[in-house]
Chain A
């Protein structure tokens, strides 16, 4: 019991994100914390959540978290495996995704995301992996949830590169852009939760955790943070949530730390 009383910022974020997903929701999942949150939801209140990873695994139910977006575990436990052009054309662009779940390196006040470069594109200080599936996930999913830690380096007044569109310049710009989905509806950070304000589309700090303050969130934001008149408090992780999440991470750690041994058949052509 006592070891469950303390929890990490990552655990709080994962639990807060998992609670947003509902049973039966069709969720397009990114690797890392979004994947942990989606699987925590599946193991707790949302057993019938449909998880789609961009590798084409549809309705997958992994027992351990995948390290990559295409681990065999995802294929072994999927309802269907579809080719990659199909997952983006028929399933995502086809409008079949309720929630796209993304991370990023930078976010701006309108929920636009950078996962491409820090610095200039031609001579970047840090070359990040890039957009991958995110540019179209953020366009087509009915809504997008974003998870990232909040600091002046990640919550920036101007992105170095826009990899995925949020609300663009705000004030309805996204709706006019032709992007079919509603865009980022919830941003979960290590200080609390932000949501777009109606009309302006600017992200507004609407909830904190028991262990965080509004002032901390303001200080961790690279622009003057819009704070809601009433800031809710997100309940800390419950005992079950923490136990199930930690079990999941422990199973995953064990699975990922055992090297593969190959038993090769020699087959003469």
Chain B
């Protein structure tokens, strides 16, 4: 489990055309890694995330994606993800194939992936059109009661990328706060890359905390502020003002592209990005 620079970790472990899950349910979204994939001009990715959020809005608008598996694609509390909408409604910058679930279905699919089961199961999608539009949502009959239950194929991403609070020098990783489906996405993946706020001598993890042991982690990069503009509990809070401002930036193709060119493609790394949008204190 090597500790690498983020650019090197992603250059080594993410290839064009792969399926990539960058999880984090509102909290600990791996923005630094998403931006680095934009800088490295990765393309044809099958992006997987329950809530695409701004990170996939940016990656879709920047031309990294050919497909998206998701369950809720809005800017939380604000409105639309305009780049996601433009891709679905108008095929800009490229057509986007979508595989749509509910949250419960996608959580079951990650859990199945982590468990090496072929499918996840839930009492879900009842009476909805989702199963009609996503042919991978099917059903199984309970062998004990005869009840018909919804089934979803396991999600097993080629690569899962997470952001976490802390790693120790051996590469064990601690996540705390709202932990979403990160543990499941991590253990479902073939390759696991994690960015962290800090690398410390010890984790000081509470006994039942979520710790990903070093031998399931492929590579770690230390990227302070790596979840901004989402947040890292105990380090910095969600920049809700940025999420509100994104609505205007992303609404228009030109203003979006200018923003990406200036703040992402035009900066060397995440520290440069944070300086360029002026959020770091000296």
- Which residue of chain A lies nearest to B200 when distances are taken between CB atoms in the complex? A267
Cβ-defined partner of A84 (8 Å) among B50, B126, B236: B50
User: Does any Cβ of B come within 8 Å of A141's Cβ?
Assistant: no
Q: Mark A168-193, 1 if CB is under 8 A from B, else 0.
A: 10000010011110000000000000
User: Does any Cβ of A come within 8 Å of B64's Cβ?
Assistant: no
User: Does any Cβ of B come within 8 Å of A2's Cβ?
Assistant: no
Size class of the contact patch on chain B:
35 or more
Chain A residues near B117 (CB-CB < 8 A): none
- A178, B238: Cα distance in complex, Å: 39
- A151, B73: Cα distance in complex, Å: 25
Task: State the B residues within 8 Å of A (CB).
Answer: 3, 25-27, 50-51, 70-74, 76-78, 80-81, 84-85, 88-89, 100, 102-105, 107-108, 110-111, 122-130, 133, 147-148, 169, 177-181, 183-184, 198-200, 210, 222, 224-225, 228-229, 231, 233, 236-244, 271, 274, 279-281
B108 to chain A, nearest CB (A): 7
30 A-B pairs in the complex with CB atoms less than 8 angstroms apart: A31-B76, A55-B178, A68-B238, A68-B240, A72-B27, A75-B27, A83-B184, A85-B184, A88-B104, A89-B107, A89-B122, A116-B100, A116-B129, A121-B129, A124-B88, A130-B73, A130-B74, A131-B102, A132-B103, A165-B126, A178-B126, A178-B147, A255-B240, A259-B239, A260-B228, A260-B242, A261-B281, A264-B225, A267-B199, A267-B222
- A82, B71: Cα distance in complex, Å: 19
Inter-chain contact A135/B124, CB cutoff 8 Å: yes
Inter-chain contact A135/B148, CB cutoff 8 Å: no
Contact A88 B103, CB 8 Å, known A165-B126, A257-B241? yes
User: Does any Cβ of B come within 8 Å of A109's Cβ?
Assistant: no
Inter-chain contact A85/B110, CB cutoff 8 Å: yes
Inter-chain contact B124/A136, CB cutoff 8 Å: yes
Inter-chain contact A259/B108, CB cutoff 8 Å: no
List residues of A (220-269) whose CB comes within 8 Å of B's CBs: 255-267, 269
- A75, B124: Cα distance in complex, Å: 27
B90 to chain A, nearest CB (A): 9
B248 to chain A, nearest CB (A): 15
Q: Mark A127-146, 1 if CB is under 8 A from B, else 0.
A: 11111111110011000000
- Which residue of chain A lies nearest to B127 when distances are taken between CB atoms in the complex? A165
Chain B residues near A92 (CB-CB < 8 A): 104
- Which residue of chain B lies nearest to A85 when distances are taken between CB atoms in the complex? B107
B51 to chain A, nearest CB (A): 8
Inter-chain contact B108/A89, CB cutoff 8 Å: yes
Closest 7 pairs (CB-CB, A-B): A70-B26, A165-B127, A129-B74, A132-B72, A68-B76, A67-B77, A88-B104
Inter-chain contact B279/A262, CB cutoff 8 Å: yes
**Most chain A C-beta atoms within 10 Å of own C-beta, residue among B26, B80, B236, B281:** B26
Inter-chain contact A263/B88, CB cutoff 8 Å: no
- A17, B182: Cα distance in complex, Å: 34
Cβ-defined partner of A130 (8 Å) among B100, B169, B179: B100
A104 to chain B, nearest CB (A): 12
User: Does any Cβ of B come within 8 Å of A29's Cβ?
Assistant: no
Q: Which of A7-15, A18-26, A156-164, A203-211 contacts B (4 or more CB under 8 A)?
A: A156-164
User: Does any Cβ of B come within 8 Å of A54's Cβ?
Assistant: yes
Inter-chain contact B130/A135, CB cutoff 8 Å: yes
- Which residue of chain A lies nearest to B282 when distances are taken between CB atoms in the complex? A263
- Which residue of chain B lies nearest to A136 when distances are taken between CB atoms in the complex? B104
A185 to chain B, nearest CB (A): 17
Chain B residues near A260 (CB-CB < 8 A): 228-229, 231, 236-239, 241-242, 279
- A216, B237: Cα distance in complex, Å: 44
User: Does any Cβ of B come within 8 Å of A102's Cβ?
Assistant: no
- A135, B108: Cα distance in complex, Å: 14
Contact A139 B123, CB 8 Å, known A83-B180, A163-B130? yes
- A161, B72: Cα distance in complex, Å: 15
Inter-chain contact B72/A130, CB cutoff 8 Å: yes
Inter-chain contact A84/B281, CB cutoff 8 Å: no
